[in-house]
Amino acid sequence: MVRIISLPNPRLALAFVDYMATLGIVLQVRKQDQEVQILLEDESKLPEVEKQLALFLENPTHERYLAASWHTGSTNANLSYQRYSYAQRILSQAGPLTLGVMVLCIAVYLLQQIYGDQSIMEWLGWPADDAQHMQLWRWFTPALLHFSPLHILFNLLWWWYLGGPVEKRLGSGKLFTIAIVSALVSNWGQAIFSGIYFGGLSGVVYALMGYVWLTGELKPERQLSLPRGLMVFSIVWLVLGYFDVFGLAIANAAHVFGLILGLLMAFVDLRIIRHKQN
């Protein structure tokens, strides 16, 4: 029995199983914690299953999968759909590092509301002089600063949406590496173009966008993906930021540096994997 993939959504898992049944390939499902495992007994069918899985992950809501479910009916009636709250949904997709960063950002934001942005930036902002250059935390902590409810909500939703799967699939160490390196590089890039008064997790978020998107495009079996539509939206948003279309203070340089770094990190990781396989 070969494990093909684990999915957090039972309905998506069954849609793929039903579609493969229309191709004459029988798959089985097994619940494990908050996820559903898809299993294959006939290993000779593995290449075809992997090929179809890659197509499925690109667009799991395509009508052909819905049509397959209607055609085959419920082949796994004993697989119950557990109803859970939004809090459980967040916890099920996030590892300890993902949640820890979210809590830390919220705590810093609350301190900003109590003591003022300027006071907190004096402790966590980008180094303002040579003396502060030795305070090494300052090279990273601007990523924890946010200046409006929309700012922190937007960044934390993206962090959870992208960082959670990276931590679940590749481990906390990989997510930590991406986050710490992209925070440093995107902060440095923003400081060059705008000075020391900036903050936000968006440089890290754009690094995750680049990393997850390229990984999903080139190696879907790593079970990471970012829909192309969302990637296009993110790049359009980045470009619009340079034209000040919305009248918002957007850390454009951090976005660009983060995105490029995420793409480079994914490319290097995939090259290393390919080298080990050869």
Point out the catalytic residue in the list 69, 182, 202, 225.
202
DSSP calls for 148-209? SHHHHHHHHHHHHHHHHHHHHHH-HHHHHHHHHHHHHHHHHHHHHHH-S----SHHHHHHHH
96 exposure class (CB count in 10 Å sphere: 0-12, 13-18, 19+): exposed
DSSP label at 82? -
CA count, 13 A, side-chain hemisphere, 210: 25
- Active site (annotated) includes residue 85: no
- Active site (annotated) includes residue 172: no
Residue 29, SS3 per DSSP: strand
Point out the catalytic residue in the list 146, 186, 225, 255.
255
CA count, 13 A, side-chain hemisphere, 157: 7
158 strand-pairing partners: none
27 strand-pairing partners: 40
| Residues recognised as catalytic | 202, 255
